[in-house]
Structure 1
């Protein structure tokens, strides 16, 4: 490997400094969003927090919307990783149970990040992203997470553990929508019966795993179900 001369080292140092500043901008942005919500994030507040001029920030991000896109991508990647942690569960119904519970736990533990990911219109948060591939990349990351749910439904279909009319992808989208509803209603402080979120997840899954041909599609002994007595 050729040795770098002084100009090369300076170029590499500048690149590392730029990357470090970018990561610092995202770190502080993430803290502000988690603490105060996306509406409170501004380029001026961010510049003051990291002790840089707003002009320096614009060299890395053109707008707060572009920062929102980066944070949204991070959040979607984290959610995908949450799902991946459960892909070693062999039984697809048990795997879906674990993923569903993890999804709700993620949303309730990271409320402002979740709002930014799924309750803030992407085009409004980052209007400059329209017309290029930035929204497409976020959609692809979300699709990767959705595919992990869909894979479990594909396995259930192959094992004849879904109703005949149930398409795996439609089931995955429907379950995701159901889980989002549980999280969104909790985050918005909706007046709901005092039912723990974990119990709502169980009830949602029961709707998908209705008995097929007299055989319980869940494929697990009810006595072995996770405790849902707490939120």
Structure 2
């Protein structure tokens, strides 16, 4: 490995260390209560070191969003080889729920935590666009195959995503207290199956 490659690897390792520390503190204390100095103390480096990699806390949070969406899109990619577009859509939904259940803290940072996202106003959100783009692509495939009626692709994809995201968030936030704890996962699974059946019958 050459000097340039080694320096790049070391830089990326430091960047990931900073993100790990920020994620831990954001989740434990909330975005607003965490300072760059807190993060520096957590990883045992100076605040000046962090500023070499991230301009401010918003950029750190944006980096965590990128990390989460890269991981989630990576789980969607193998599903693109499925030939039945509706099966692909269903499996993407299952993968989304599984990702949330297996990575609740990361999912919380990606979608639920209240925090400013000024970074999103300044540059394209490539990773988020890629995830939603995969959903729109499979929705278009369902329309082309006659499985769905011809509706606006963006609106249809948004409806599907928001529905699945809604009860996933309810489950993670423990807002299903009206059901015995042992029944919550099966109920969520059945709700997803019913949603898919409804899509198949009437969209």
Q: TM-score, normalised by structure 1?
A: 0.72
Across the aligned residues of Structure 1 and Structure 2, the Cα RMSD in angstroms comes to 2.7
Q: Does 1:80 align with 2:73?
A: yes
Q: Does the CA contact (< 8 Å) of 2:86 and 2:147 recur in 1?
A: no
Task: Measure how far apart 1:13 and its partner are.
Answer: 6.4
Question: Aligned partners of 1:113 and 1:31: how far apart in 2?
Answer: 10
Task: Find the counterpart in structure 2 of residue 146 from structure 1.
Answer: 132
Task: Find the counterpart in structure 2 of residue 110 from structure 1.
Answer: 103
- The superposition leaves residues 112-143 of structure 1 with CA deviations (integer Å, 9 ceiling, x where unpaired) of 2212212235xx4344x26521xx2x2x3222
Secondary structure at 1:96's aligned position in 2? helix
Q: Does 1:162 align with 2:148?
A: yes
Residue ranges of structure 2 left out of the alignment (5+ in a row) = none
Q: 1:38 to 1:78 in 2, by over 3 A?
A: farther
Task: Find the counterpart in structure 1 of residue 162 from structure 2.
Answer: 177
Q: 1:76 to 1:197 in 2, by over 3 A?
A: same
Q: Does the CA contact (< 8 Å) of 1:69 and 1:125 recur in 2?
A: no
Q: 1:12 to 1:113 in 2, by over 3 A?
A: closer
Q: Does 1:55 align with 2:53?
A: no
- Would you tell me which structure has more helix in proportion to its own residues? 2
Task: Find the counterpart in structure 1 of residue 116 from structure 2.
Answer: 125
Task: Measure how far apart 1:104 and its partner are.
Answer: 0.9
Question: Aligned partners of 2:113 and 2:29: how far apart in 1?
Answer: 11
Displaced runs of 4+ in structure 1, greater than 6 A?
none
Q: 1:23 to 1:91 in 2, by over 3 A?
A: same
How do 1:1-231 residues align onto structure 2 when only pairs under 5 Å count? 17-33=10-26, 36=28, 38-39=30-31, 41-120=34-113, 124-127=115-118, 129=119, 132-133=122-123, 136=124, 138=125, 140-164=126-150, 166-191=151-176, 192-193=178-179, 194=184, 195-210=186-201
The number of residues matched between the two structures is: 195
Question: Aligned partners of 1:37 and 1:206: how far apart in 2?
Answer: 41
